[in-house]
Structure 1
Amino acid sequence: MIQNYSTAKGRLSSFGSNLFIGLLFFFLLTGITVALPASIDFDLVKERVVKEYLISEVDKEEIQQLLTSQNPDGTWPGINYQDVSRTGFEHYFHTGNMVTLAKAYQHPNSTFRGSPKVKQAISNALDHWVQNDYFCDNWWYNQIGTPNNLVAVMLLLGDELPEELVQATQPIIGRAHLNASGARPSGDRIKIAGILAKNLLFLGEKEKFETVLKVIEGEIKFSTGSRGLQRDFSFHHRVDRVNNTSSYGLGYADAFVEWLVYTAATQYSFSRDKVEILVDYYLDGISKNLAFGKYLEAGAKNRSIARPGALHGLDAKTPKKLLQATDYRKGDLEEIVKIREEGIHKVSLSYGKYFWQTEFFTYQRPGFFTSVRMYSIRNDNMEVPYNSEGLMNHHRGDGTNHLSITGKEYLDIFPVMDFQKIPGATILQKEKLPDPDQIQKSGYTDFVGAVTDDLYGSVAFDFISPHDPLKARKSWFFFDKEYVCLGAGIYAKGKQEVFTTLNQLLLKGEVYAQVGHQMKILKSGKHGLKNPDWIYHDRVGYFMLAPQDVELSFGEVTGNWTSINRQTRAPQEDVTKEVFSLWVNHGNNVRQESYAYMILPNASLEETKAYRIDDQIEILANTPELQAVRHKQLLQVQANFYQAGKLDLGDGLELTMDGPGLVLLHLDGQNIVKMAVSDPSRKLDKMHLQLNSKLNLQGTQHRVAWDAEHWISKVTVQLPEGEFAGSSVILGD
């Protein structure tokens, strides 16, 4: 039954509320345990929700413009009220305007506080909405977007609006309910539950509110193999297992943190184990999908790259809220806050993180961040271009390798990007990309994965294109100052050329090339370089590790957001940006082609000129069967075996594998001091390898049989199974 909203029924007086808050903090500080009436906790949560709406200051000019431009029927000019399609529905601006006005009406510092004119404008706008009940072809607006805005209006001044208007609004808000089609176990379920909980606060429904909060808390759980949070702390919004960690997964975390703070120190508080899962997810999932823990990263994004500003930096609001609610991993949270508030030059993060449930690898050093995105028979390559966004994303999962030093290298490059030159990818060059409905594909291979000891790592991709007659074996090997990219067994049919792109990003500064003993500054345009030593641009050196001709182009490129985004709100005007592209042209009818290059990030021109490859990097193998690299200074070997084989590690050491797998070795002369292994295929329960060195490595997941007569250690490693299959086993300290 709809209550009388013109009364303050069930609410504490201002005096009583302030007295309660003072007593609450007294009890918390003294450790006294008291049983508080449910109504007090309920009203406190409601007060916190309303207070959150009023954090930001009111823009006086914006409010004045909304008041003067509003039509007599409550509408605003410039909004297309006829188009309710998936690519349209500008009506969202209408409900957003109502929220903006409601905040101005209630904000304590607003010159419009309590303004009858503002209240009338809100009433007119709301009346127009309920008379028309606009319904979008995209369910999200009906079940989340519109109810979320309308419930904000109700909480801010619903008690002051005409009762019949409030009653007419309830069925529209009520589309956010737990049995709604969009309330699937994922980011949207927790958002819908949050809207419902806010509406129950407005209605005064205490028992129902408590039930919904339990649903919200229950959504913080591992759902490996289905929608939701995965065991590797990635996030899957749908059953296609595409990486949604920094899109839907970000909203999932923010929605939970919102209620974590609202309910703190009340009977509705969430359990500590749920809070710890959330913190782990925020730090080891979300933050490690971001460049420097701050910038939304191109490799982790899907169709949203078609929206201006998609790769913006995040603020510190959410980690600060977590610090208010818990002391769990306090230092890690404080570092993320510091990075976001003081800048990435303060970063001290270093890690190698493989999301084996999502087939996404991220690598952070104080001076750079990079990622590799892949797919397999287990995961699809890319999100469907829902609502006509991301219309050229066909190859953005094909072993793509983005690199960030500032976090802004790819910011809004997408309307001018050549989507057949994606950084890191090997792509058959077509006259045009297939239709957007052909973007999402399943992979054809299972040997897709990485090995990491949490600090270093290598990545292997047995790549067969689902779009073209093309295949390749691709590997990446990551170290402190540089990383190596190898490709072998590249095969393609037909007359179309095959490119492997080293990078395509926004042009910044001069472009240099060293060919033979001559270094030169290149002019804008297209260049073909015969066997260059290195190319340098924007604090990155690109070194060719084997004789290889390359092509590059840089200069102005003109494009349009509408080529990748058909939403009516997408910018319509042409965009011109300066772009740098560098690639290897493997030719056509490719048979057993290869490539080998190294990237030196965050280096000056002088550091690039002085870098001596032979002192650091040795390619031990680059064949379709085995790709391996030795770093001489780090005393480290990373090897990706696509089948059983033997590898000469140098210094008289040999590694023999009896099957496929990835191995990372830390060496000390002829001694192995640390090792990590993984099985990308996820077919094995044990891995068997041999080393002609006596091993004494700590750990419980392996055993070593020492053959003194042949001077061989026979190692058997117990591999992770179930939801941990594909993750790494670390042997040694």
Structure 2
Amino acid sequence: MTAAGSGAAAFDVLRATAFDLLTGGGADVSDPVHAGPLARLSEAAGGALASLSPGTLWPDLPPEGRPGNVTGSYGRLRRIATAWATPGTAQHGDDSVVARVVDALDVLHERHYNERLPETGNWWFWEIGTPAHLSRLCVLLGDRLGPARLDAYLAAVDRFCPDADRRAGNPRASESGANRADKASIVAFRGIAGRGADKLALARDGLSDVRDGGLRSVFRHVESGDGFYRDGSFIQHECVAYTGSYGLSLLVAVAEALALLNGSPWQVSDPDLPVLLDAVERSYAPFVHDGLLMDTVRGRAATRQAFSDAVAGHGLIGAVLLLARSAPEPYAGRFEELAKGWIERGRARPYLEHADVPETRRAVAVLRDGSVEAVPGPVGHFVFPSMDRVVHRRPTWSFAVSLSSRRIAAYEAINGENLHGWYTGDGMTYLYTSDLGQFGADFWPTVDPYRLPGTTVDDRERENLSFRAHCPPGAWAGGAVLDGRYGAAVMELDSEGASLRARKSWFFLDTAVVALGSGITGSDGRRVVTVVENRATEARPHVGDGWAHLPGVAGYVLDGAQCAVETRTGRWRDINAGDDTGGAFEPVTRRYASLWIDHGVDPVNASYAYTVLPGAARERTRRYCGRRPVRVAANTAELQAVRARGLLAAVFWAAGAVEGIAVDAPCVVIVRRARGRVVVAVADPSRTVDVVTIGFDRPLRGLVRADGTVTARTGRAPVVSVKLGGSLGASHTFELSASEPRSPRCDR
């Protein structure tokens, strides 16, 4: 099909849409709100132009044999071209600016990126990084390139990114997840620049994987490998929790493609599109705290100096606002409400002080619309069994845990990134309160990587990581959630390259998180500690008798803890030396307050117990320590449990009993008694149990609600059987009554 056959007018509309997407289009440059982004764009473009040398490009990005620097050079040229094409900048419409850009593009094309060259080094630079910039440059510059140049540049794009389906350098590799979405977006921009109907069809069909019958569609739930899972998880590279990195890239790329093709003959009409639209609230929103996209789902990307949790949060806001332009209702309205709330609460890095012109235009429209309500963040307990992540949210704080197992990697370290990520998946905890700068602002290069909050570690020194994703051998990782409000999480620690073993659990309540550890054993002649907290803060901790307090952060209830305050200095380059993401060599410094429990050298069956009270004042922490409203009911290698008023939560590592309930197989159980009802949640984080039978020591007269996996024998000695096999770590919930109900109902 030719462009003419598709209608030349359709391509004119598409290019106008693409131009609007890249430059902000009809943004009112006289509106003071746009002064900031226009000035930032002008300054960035001006700086790049000032250091651009004819024939040699940029001295700090030597392109010879460095595909990452080639991508970086195209990125700078794209920034200059964007400024040239954007009304209100110092470079807008300047012929000398566009001439210098075209000359530099010729240098890159002739020597470093054309259809005759072989791929060398990291394939990503050739097939995604560079063509992403070049395809957009072709849209921005349009007729100023001339037919011959345009055809030459697009031929290079076609060589390395002909479609979204296959890896050009390895045709046996089928693209999936973010890589597929990124390539579809590239092909869409390329199709618009070259007025190619066939390319636009490939972009549309690539998102849905028409070629392979939808096998790797970005709009379909997956059961293994890369993509969105039914429980809200997002995985890339087969085994890494990546909602906030690759998942973010996917959302941005799909939002762009949908916006570009919306209303055109190539509009995306996949019936499974709601899978992606639902993911905004199901997969992303639980991991956004006041505009910050949590590092627990950002993998090695957390070590990128220019890509903090706040920057990632801005990326998500921009993607969600762009997605609202093409999404049907009620999604569009809901997306605007979510984004407005994130922007208004995003005090760590105010959105309008950093957004580009297009993002500012969309954000301001929503912020000034009184009919759009800024919704608060979600409140509840969220378990993502398929990626071993748990997050507990309350109105003023959030608490996340990074787990790992033989299914999900404890860390990924490739391309020179995440060099010190040894323990980030060993139960590291992330506490978010009003102290929003904790995990941004130089946390990762300055925190002691051997002392991450929540982890149990020995004191050995380790070498930098390189090209490795480590999945520990343990089966246990995950947890149970009761009515979306309470939770229990668990992980079996099998320390990489050491004899250290431990069983770790966390119990999530209304105002507290209780952490238990048991079976802590090591025989390598090393000291073992459990890190309660390691906080970047200027506040001074107060240590009481059985408790501690860190102003603006939390209270901690625990016995035998040690406390220290230290100033630490590090370099971003020491943790990330990537070709295009490597950090600065200049040292940075932060002050830390830490709490830890010392288990001694070569511990045998050691244990710990501590409670975190997020946001609690000092006096409340002291009173909590005295009253102990949450009691540890058990903390052994076979059973860990806590009892609060009306609630019992237990991790059964083996068949056993505790305070009125007994089970005949390993599982996690949460029981809540209130108003003559007993509500129970049960899950199998190990994914090894087929059926578990739960016995109760009190009479229960009827089954009020349950799903189809539950069968019950009520009466004086009630017994409930739950089929856990095949549930993939999900929670099963049922409710019992002290009196016979009229008609039990099934929740499916």
TM-score band (shorter)? 0.7 to 0.9
**Which consecutive aligned stretches of 4+ in structure 1 deviate over 6 angstroms post-superposition?**
none
- Select which of 370, 389, 406 maps to 2:399: 370
Letter aligned with residue 705 of structure 2: Q
Q: Which moved more, 1:150-159 or 1:656-665?
A: 150-159
What residue identity is the alignment partner of 1:319?
Answer: V
TM-score normalised by the chain length of structure 2: 0.84
Cα drift, residue 682 of structure 1: 1.5
Post-superposition shift, 1:672? 4.1
Q: 1:258 to 1:274 in 2, by over 3 A?
A: farther
8 Å CA contact 1:442, 1:466 repeated in 2: no
For 1:509-548, list aligned pairs within 5 A. Answer: 509-515=539-545, 532-544=546-558, 548=559
1:683 aligns with: 688
Q: Quickly say closer, same or farther: Cα 1:169–1:599, change in 2 above 3 A.
A: same
The amino acid across from 1:665 in the alignment is V
Separation in 1, partners of 2:706, 2:640: 27
In structure 1, give the amino acid aligned to 2:38.
E
1:452 aligns with 2:481: yes
Question: Structure 2 residue aligned with 1:258, among 233, 248, 256?
Answer: 256
Tell me if the contact between 1:667 and 1:674 (Cα under 8 Å) persists in the aligned partners. yes
Change beyond 3 A, Cα 1:151–1:706: closer
**Would you say 1:553 and 2:553 are equivalent positions?**
no
Query: Is contact 2:154-2:194 (8 Å) kept?
Result: no
Amino acid at match of 1:322: L
Q: Distance in 1 between matches of 2:623 and 2:206?
A: 59
Secondary structure of the residue aligned to 1:698 is strand
Cα distance change, pair 549–128 in 1 and its aligned pair in 2 (3 A): same
**Which residue of 2 is the match for residue 300 of structure 1?**
297
Contact 1:375 1:443 in 2 (8 A): yes
Match of 1:725, as an amino acid?
A: L
**Alpha-carbon deviation of 1:139?**
1.4
Shift of the alpha carbon at 1:81? 3.1
Matches within 5 A, 1:522-671: 532-544=546-558, 548-567=559-578, 569-612=582-625, 614=627, 616-632=629-645, 635-648=646-659, 654-668=660-674, 671=676
Per-residue CA deviation, residues 29-62 of structure 1 (Å, 9 max, x unaligned), is xxxxxxxx75544432332111111126363344
SS at match of 1:716: strand
Counterpart residue number, 1:24: none
Contact 1:490–1:591, Cα closer than 8 Å, also in 2: yes
Report the Cα distance in structure 1 between the residues aligned to 2:570 and 2:633, rounded to whole angstroms. Answer: 43
User: 1:486 touches 1:627 (CA, 8 Å); kept in 2?
Assistant: yes
CA contact 1:370–1:401 (8 Å) conserved in 2? yes
Amino acid at match of 2:406: I
Query: Does residue 150 of structure 2 align to residue 146 of structure 1?
Result: no
Q: Which residue does the alignment assign to 1:190?
A: 181
**Letter of the aligned partner of 2:668 in structure 1?**
L
- Which of 1 and 2 has greater Rg? 1
CA distance in 2 between counterparts of 1:552 and 1:615 reads: 22
Is residue 131 of structure 1 aligned with residue 110 of structure 2?
yes
Decide whether the 8 Å contact of 1:415 with 1:559 is kept in 2: yes
For residue 525 of structure 1, what is the aligned residue in structure 2?
Answer: none
Instruction: State the Cα distance separating 1:214 from its structure 2 match.
Output: 1.9
1:497 and 2:476 aligned: no
CA contact (8 A) 2:187 2:203 kept: yes
SS in 1 for 2:277: helix
Structure 2 contact 233–386 (Cα < 8 Å) conserved: yes
Q: Percent identity over the alignment?
A: 24
Q: 2:279 aligns with which of 278, 281, 293?
A: 281
Tell me whether 469-478 or 602-611 shows the greater mean CA deviation.
Answer: 602-611
Aligned partner letter, 1:210: A
Indicate the residue corresponding to 1:96 in structure 2: 75
- Please state whether the residue corresponding to 1:256 is helix, strand or coil: helix
Q: Does 2:476 align with 1:476?
A: no
Alignment of 1:166-185 (within 5 A): 166-174=150-158, 175-178=160-163, 179=166, 180=168, 181=170, 184-185=175-176
TM-aligned CA deviation for residue 380 of structure 1? 2.5
Match of 1:340 among 334, 339, 342: 342
CA contact 1:155–1:202 (8 Å) conserved in 2: yes
**Structure-1 residue corresponding to 2:708:** 701
Distance in 1 of aligned mates of 2:457 and 2:542: 26
Q: Secondary structure at the match of 2:63?
A: coil
CA, structure 1 residues 684+329, in 2 after alignment: closer, same or farther (shift >3 Å)?
A: farther
Cα contact 1:183–1:190 (8 A) shared by 2: no
Tell me by how many angstroms 1:500 deviates. 0.4
- State the partner residue of 1:214: 205
Describe the shift of the 1:273–1:620 C-alpha distance in structure 2 as closer, same or farther (beyond 3 A). Answer: farther
Is the Cα–Cα contact under 8 Å of residues 132 and 186 in structure 2 kept in the other structure? yes
Shift of 1:566: 2.0
Q: Provide closer, same or farther for how the CA distance between residues 203 and 490 of structure 1 changes in structure 2, counting only shifts above 3 A.
A: same
2: distance between equivalents of 1:614 and 1:192? 58
1:121 aligned partner: 100
Assess, with a 3 A threshold, how the Cα gap between structure 1 residues 340 and 618 changes in structure 2: closer, same or farther.
same
8 Å contact 1:702–1:715 — kept in the other structure?
Answer: no
Instruction: Find the aligned partners of 2:288 and 2:620 in 1 and give their Cα distance.
Output: 27
CA distance in 2, matches of 1:331, 1:616: 42
SS at match of 1:122: helix
> Which residue identity lines up with residue 605 of structure 2 in the other structure?
Q
CA gap of 1:698–1:202, structure 2 versus 1, over 3 A, is same
Q: Secondary structure at the match of 1:403?
A: strand
Contact kept? 1:291, 1:370, Cα under 8 Å = no
How much does 1:334 deviate? 4.4
- Shift in alpha-carbon separation, 1:60–1:716, aligned structure 2, 3 A: closer
**Aligned ranges 1:21-420 → 2 under 5 Å:** 39-55=8-24, 57=38, 59-73=41-55, 75-82=57-64, 84=66, 89-134=68-113, 137-174=121-158, 175-178=160-163, 179=166, 180=168, 181=170, 184-217=175-208, 218-239=217-238, 241-271=239-269, 273-292=271-290, 294-308=291-305, 309-312=307-310, 314-315=313-314, 316-324=317-325, 325-329=327-331, 333-343=335-345, 347-383=376-412, 385-406=413-434, 407-411=436-440, 412-420=442-450
2:191, 2:198 within 8 Å by CA — same for their partners in 1?
no
Q: What SS does structure 2 have at the residue aligned with 1:57?
A: helix
**Distance in 1, Cα, partners of 2:202 & 2:249:** 22
Structure 1 residue 370, shift from structure 2 partner: 1.0
Unaligned runs of 5+ in 1: 4-8, 12-36, 516-531, 649-653
**Within 2, Cα distance between the matches of 1:83 and 1:541?**
53
State the Cα deviation string for residues 281-336 of structure 1 (Å, max 9, x = none). Answer: 121112223335x3122322322222224222523322223333222356753442
AA matched with 2:729: G
Q: In 2, are the aligned partners of 1:640 and 1:661 still within 8 Å (CA)?
A: yes
Give me the whole-angstrom Cα distance separating, in 2, the residues matched to 1:712 and 1:512: 49
Q: TM-score, normalised by structure 1?
A: 0.85
Contact 1:351 1:455 (C-alpha < 8 Å) held by counterparts: yes
Give the number of aligned pairs.
664
Could you tell me whether the CA contact under 8 Å between 1:507 and 1:580 is conserved in 2?
yes
Task: State the 1:405 CA deviation.
Answer: 0.8
Q: Which residue of 2 is the match for residue 26 of structure 1?
A: none
Does the CA contact (< 8 Å) of 1:382 and 1:440 recur in 2?
Answer: yes
How far apart are 1:269 and its partner, in Å?
A: 3.1
Q: Deviations over 1:529-568 (max 9, x none)?
A: xxx3334343311111xxx322222131111222212236
SS in structure 2 of the partner of residue 224 of structure 1: coil
Q: What is the deviation of 1:713? A: 0.7
What is the CA distance between 1:438 and its match in structure 2? 8.3
Q: Show CA shifts across 1:120-160 (max 9, x none).
A: 11111111111212565221111111111111111112322
Secondary structure of the residue that 2:251 maps to in structure 1? helix
> 1:524 maps to what in 2?
none
Q: Which of 714, 718, 721 is the equivalent residue of 2:723?
A: 718
Query: What residue in structure 1 maps to residue 350 of structure 2?
Result: none
- The answer to whether the Cα contact below 8 Å between 2:285 and 2:378 also exists between their aligned partners in 1 is no
- Could you tell me which amino acid in structure 2 is paired with residue 302 of structure 1? G
Q: What secondary structure does 1:538 align onto? A: coil
